[in-house]
Structures are given as structure tokens and as C-alpha cells.
Amino acid sequence: MHSDLKLTGVASKYKGKVREVYALENDMLVMVATDRLSAFDVVMPKGIPYKGQILNQIAAHMLKATADIVPNWLVATPDPNVAVGKACEPLKVEMVIRGYLAGHAAREYALGKRTLCGANMPDGMRENDAFPEPIITPATKAEQGDHDEDITPEELIERGIVTADQYDQLADYTRALFARGTEMAKAQGLILVDTKYEFGRDADGTIVLIDEIHTPDSSRYFYADGYQDRQDNGEPQRQLSKEFVRRWLIENGFQGKAGQQLPVMSDAYIESVSERYIELYEHITGNAFQKADLSNVAGRIQQNLDAFFKP
């Protein structure tokens, strides 16, 4: 659920909802993927076994598979839960791209909205239908609090978050990455429904891909087999993403709003979430998941990093 690494030359440590990032004085970052689970911008009190390992290893797999499209921050993964890479200045926008009417877009559509972040959503769509073409719906952090905020490309540029040229570059990268992710998912019998990408600038000012990509925390996947039959019959899609956790929370009266009580996740439910994450790992990578040793996670990570950074 947390890390306390002893590293040489640590300039700062950042604790996100899921990741903990150690910035080193040599412009390198050590990113630890914990087993924490967040939904509706709230961190659940119990972790999900192997979740951090799964996110880290899927992200590394995907970053390596897309390095020909856009340069990225990753240098090495010296531990199942750890990525080491170049420090970059983040661009304060999440490039969300949606191939299907699902999740947040579906909830907005059900309220009668037909545009999202300046992108058009045609009339007559059902939840989980494919858009004619994938739409980009950027998000940024709200000025008050830590919630993501829908924003149009024009507003991004007006606020000075990115320049017009930078946005065009980000949009091009986003479409190309989504196309590659879609292709990789299809090969494994999955549909990449929607996802988000984050970018930064390295020391030379080059735009690079940062953070994770195509993981169940940043993406939504459907099973391709039976997709159309379920749509035709008005049935929910079988999916591998964090959306099933959100739906469980909603069904139990929680959407992260003031005054709502966080429901208790039983050990059995937590185990089922872990199994779903493992299932996605094996589907999206095509590899059998190898469970890391959990007997002394802190010691294991420290030992692996000491060996990696050894002169």
C-alpha cells in the first residue's frame, strides 16, 4: 500500500493515488506501482493483490510496443512493481480517446448531452455502441481539488496549458497510439474501448509519452467475442477494466460525493478484483502472469533497486 525506499540522491517524493514517484538528482525517476485502488478520486482502504505488478508490467509491455510511434520516458523495470525512467515536465492535460460510448461519455449522453469536450456524439446511439470515428475528449485537473475536469481543445489553448501546435502533436500521437492499442487488443480477442495518455517534455523539450498506457486503470476493454450479440440483445458488455469497481460502488451507494459512506469491500470481493486484473494482464499481453513474491515486498524492491543502481 506504500513504499519507503532508501535511494541515493532523492530530490523529492510524490505520492499519487496509486503510484509513488521518487525524483532523483540525476533527472531520473523511480516510479513504484502500489496495490492501491482508486475510484471516483477516492483511494480504497484495502489494496488489490498483484495490482501494482500488473499495471507496471502491462505499461512496460505497451511502452516498448509503441516506442516507434512516440518516444517515452521508460528506461528499465528492475522490479515487477517498479519502473525507472527519464524525468520530464508533464503537460497538464490527459488526452482521453474514446472509440465507444461507454463510462463517463455514456453517463453524459444519458443526460442528453451530444457534445463532450467539443467532440460530437451522434444521436441514436446506445451505450457501448462504437462511434463512427474515435473522439478525443481531453481532461485536466480542476483548479479547486483533484478532480478531473472535461475541457475543450480551444480552452486548453486559451488557458495556456498547451500551445496550438503542441495540441495538434498530442492529438496525432493519441490517435496513432489508440490505433496501435486497438490492433494489439484485437489480436488478443479484446476491444480497446477508451483510454488516456499523458505526455511531458524531456530536458531537450521533446514531447514524450509518460506514465502508464493501456492498463486497466487507464483503459477500458470489452471481450470481442459476443460483443455484437450483446449489443443487439441490449445486454451489458463483458469488460475488463476498473468500470466494474465503479459500478459496484454505485450499486452500494457511493460515487465519491460529500456525505456518502464508502462501502466495505469483503476479502472475497477483493480477491475477485485481483483475479480480474490478472485476467486482463494475460489477455492483453498474451503471456501467463507470474506472481511476484509477496512475503517481503519492501525488501524485494529495495534489493532489486540497489542492484540496478550499483556503480
pLDDT of amino acid 99: 98
Side chain identity, residue 107:
R
Q: What's the whole-number average pLDDT of the chain?
A: 93
89-241 topology per CATH: D-amino Acid Aminotransferase; Chain A, domain 1 (3.30.470)
Tens digits of residue pLDDT in 287-298: 999 999 999 999
CA quadruple 80, 302, 213, 86: dihedral, nearest 10: -130
The domain ranges of the chain are 10-88+268-309, 89-241
10-88+268-309 topology per CATH: Phosphorylase Kinase; domain 1 (3.30.200)
Q: Do residues 269 and 48 make contact, with C-beta atoms less than 8 angstroms apart?
A: no
Confidence class for position 112, pLDDT limits 50, 70, 90: very high
Side chain identity, residue 146:
D
pLDDT of amino acid 143: 58
What percent of the chain clears pLDDT 70, i.e. is strictly above it? 98
Side chain identity, residue 280:
L
pLDDT of amino acid 283: 86
Where does 137-243 show beta strands of DSSP type E? 139-141, 148-150, 190-201, 207-210, 219-223, 239-241
Tens digits of residue pLDDT in 9-65: 999 999 988 999 999 999 999 999 999 998 888 889 899 999 999 999 999 999 999
Give the span between the Cα atoms of 124 and 118, in whole angstroms. 19
Residue showing cell 444521436:
123
Secondary element (H or E) of residue 96: strand 89-100
132 phi, psi to nearest 5 deg: -55, -40
* Residue 103 neighbours by CB under 8 Å, 6+ apart: 193, 194, 220, 243, 246
Tens digits of residue pLDDT in 247-272: 899 999 999 888 899 999 999 999 99
